Structure 1
Amino acid sequence: MAQGGHWQQVSSGSRQCSTPAPNPPAVVIGNRYALLDTGKKESPPTVKEEKPRTPKAGRSAATTANRKRRVVVVGDSLLRGTEAPICRPDISPQEVCCLPGARIRDVTEALSRIIQPSDYYPMLLIYVGTNDTARCDTEQIKSDYRALGVRVKGFGAQVVFSSILPVKGRGLGRDRCIMEVNAWLRRWCRQEGFGFLDHGMLLQEGLLGRDDVHLSRRGKTLFGHRLANLVRRALN
């Protein structure tokens, strides 16, 4: 992560709010653009049998109605370029908090600045883990996910974890690490009551950028629409 940077939190409304933070750089927000034609019809994203945790019982409808409603998608730099399909002005406030270079622990720490107790969060979607798999330490990754799970349980929101997207040309060790973590993440989400968005082998030829880790423009469009479709389906 870059030192001395900052991150910005951007919503779909007309006003932009930024909060200084010690580490992550700024969120990048883009204009909405149409899904590029890949030549194949993509099926909508699906959440496996693992159901998201619903808001805690005892919260009255009146109390919820008086609080600002915020849907937050948070994670690392793979979220850059997904803002357009997610943050649409014709729906309730939805935000993408992109923390370039972030690892699982960084997201856990950043949530204390992103989540406001005065607001109501019907859904929290998390994508993180790509940077952690570079070390191929699956036990440490699992431990960091567990700590993140403890943190998000107190928010009273539907929480969904996304599977880690595959990378290319980083060796068989990293490929096996990603597959192992995704298999464990699916089981763990079921046990903890979180939702799990499984992208499977989403990345086809042309969906990865030149570095074979981040997404190409077409890949960002597809990934962004899958996340946006999940959010809309979960809230309807």
Structure 2
Amino acid sequence: MPQGVSDTPVEEEAQGGHSQLVTSSSRQCSTAAANPPVVVKDNHYALLDTGEKKSPPTVKGVKPRTPKAGRSAATTDKKRRVVVVGDSLLRGTETPICRPDRSSREVCCLPGARIRDVTEALSRIIRPSDYYPMLLIHVGTNDTARCDAEQIKSDYRALGVRVKEFGAQVVFSSILPVEGRGPGRDRCIVEVNAWLRRWCRQEGFGFLDHGMLFEEGLLGTDGVHLSKRGKALFAHRLANLVRRALN
């Protein structure tokens, strides 16, 4: 998979009307697809060590619906898979996330995707025959281009209803900041992330809070995608969370 990101801003990629689904795992396929962290005691995923001294990632959420000790015989027989799905910011994270065990880890990158695109794509990504200790979702950057926080929240709620059908432990990744796109978009991202944190707690989802870590020199020249260093850090944080889910 390519290790660099596209020079095209995320929101411009979405205007084509269709997104390409790029997956990385033991198989390859493609299909069309229409603040500083606070540690919470009831936390299935403990504080992760990124090797950075600032803003370590925190995942807030509840314990998995199906703990290892309580799995039924039918669940035990299923193949364990962790899926990371989202927009083009995931491009370049495939190798760090999947390399340890490609048979149980998969990154599904949908360039230009909005929240609704992920909702629609899940039925093609999740296999009823498998067991999912975690489904990690990173999406929302494209949606904030319209600065419509209420519509974004509504789309997240619809996505939440959809993911609950799969019985997986779901973790939402906070929207990363952008640069040079105006104060209105900045305010929208801050507002949505604050709401997303509360909503995940209410709904029993995990929340991976990146805070404002990616604001300082880690964004690319377009102000939306990540620089090479930013992408490496982002991939490291996601990979650490996936590793914890499978251990």
Residue 106 of structure 1 corresponds to 117
Report the identity percentage: 75
Supply the AA of the counterpart residue of 2:154.
Answer: S
From 1, 7, 10, the counterpart of 2:24: 10
1:213 aligns with 2:224: yes
3-state SS of 1:167 partner: coil
Matched with 1:34 is none
Task: Map 1:28-43 to 2 at 5 A.
Answer: 41=53
**Residues in 1 aligned to 2:65 and 2:166: alpha-carbon distance in whole angstroms:** 10
* AA of the residue aligned to 1:138: A
Matched, 1:170 2:184: no
CA distance in 2, matches of 1:89, 1:6: 25
2:81 is paired with a residue whose SS is strand
Corresponding residue to 1:64 among 54, 69, 75: 75
Structure-1 residue corresponding to 2:147: 136
The residue type equivalent to 1:209 in the other structure is G
What is the SS of the residue equivalent to 1:47? strand
Which residue is equivalent to 1:115? 126
Per-residue Cα deviation, 1:9-53 (whole angstroms, up to 9, x for no partner): 221x3xx23143354xxxxxxxxxxxxxxx9545652213x3254
> 2:108 maps to what in 1?
97
| Contact 2:133–2:169 (8 Å) recurs in 1 | yes
Q: Which residue is 1:198 aligned to? A: 209
Q: What CA distance in whole angstroms lies between the structure 2 residues aligned with 1:142 and 1:204? A: 23
**Superposed CA offset, 1:107-164 (max 9, x none):** 0000011111111111000000000000010110000000000000011111000110
Give unmatched runs, 5+ long, in structure 1. Answer: 24-38
Residue 179 of structure 1: CA displacement? Answer: 0.3
Query: Aligned match of 1:45 in 32, 57, 68?
Result: 57
Q: Aligned with 1:187: secondary structure?
A: helix
Which amino acid is 1:68 matched to? Answer: K
Secondary structure of the residue that 1:89 maps to in structure 2?
A: coil
Preserved contact between residue 103 and residue 129 of structure 1 (Cα < 8 Å) = yes
Residue type at the aligned position of 2:87: D
Q: Distance in 1 between matches of 2:238 and 2:20?
A: 25
8 Å contact kept, 1:45–1:230: no
Kindly report the root-mean-square deviation, in angstroms, between the aligned alpha carbons of the 2 structures. Answer: 2.3
- Mapped to 2, the partners of 1:129 and 1:151 lie a distance apart of 16
C-alpha distance in 2 between matches for 1:9 and 1:177: 30
Task: State the alpha-carbon separation in 2 of the partners of residues 151 and 218 from structure 1.
Answer: 34
Any stretches of 5+ residues in structure 2 without a counterpart? 1-13, 35-50
How far has the Cα of 1:61 moved from its partner?
3.3
* Equivalent residues of 2:83, 2:135 under 8 A apart: yes
